[in-house]
Amino acid sequence: MKLFRPSDLSVRVEGDGVEFRTAAAGELTVGWMKLRQGVDLEPATRGLPDDLCPCPHWGFVIKGTVRMKTNNGSEDFAAGQAFYWGPGHAPEALEDSEYVDFSPTRELEDVIAHLTR
């Protein structure tokens, strides 16, 4: 067993209203994301497959509302809701938002490398 506190996770992406922290947990990575209202990560996903995040995520919205954009439209996820975001998405924060997710480490590392170039 392992406990994950946000302050114990490594900061991987920070700035422009985004704070993303992670820690490895076996073959998955725990991610803790904070997005300021109005942050749209769709421009940052350009250059990934289909210009969207190709990594699946399972998680829970802690605070705010996040709009998940896909090639088939968008859907909003609010505080108190669990989610599965399949490959092919880009988040936009409709409010100051925070969520925790669990992702396959290899796929997530590829996305983080793209976002931090």
pLDDT digits (tens, 9 = 90+) for 16-53: 999 999 999 999 999 999 999 999 999 999 999 999 99
Question: Tens digits of per-residue pLDDT, 50-103?
Answer: 999 999 999 999 999 999 999 999 999 999 999 999 999 999 999 999 999 999
Which DSSP category does 115 fall into?
H
d(CA 117, CA 108): 14
Q: What pLDDT is attached to residue 117?
A: 87
- CA–CA gap between residue 116 and residue 7 (Å, rounded): 21
Domains of the chain by start residue, with CATH: 6-115 (2.60.120.10)
Q: Residue 64's pLDDT is what?
A: 98
Residue 1: is its pLDDT beyond 90? no
Check residue 41 and give its pLDDT: 97
Distance between CA atoms of residues 3 and 55, nearest Å: 24
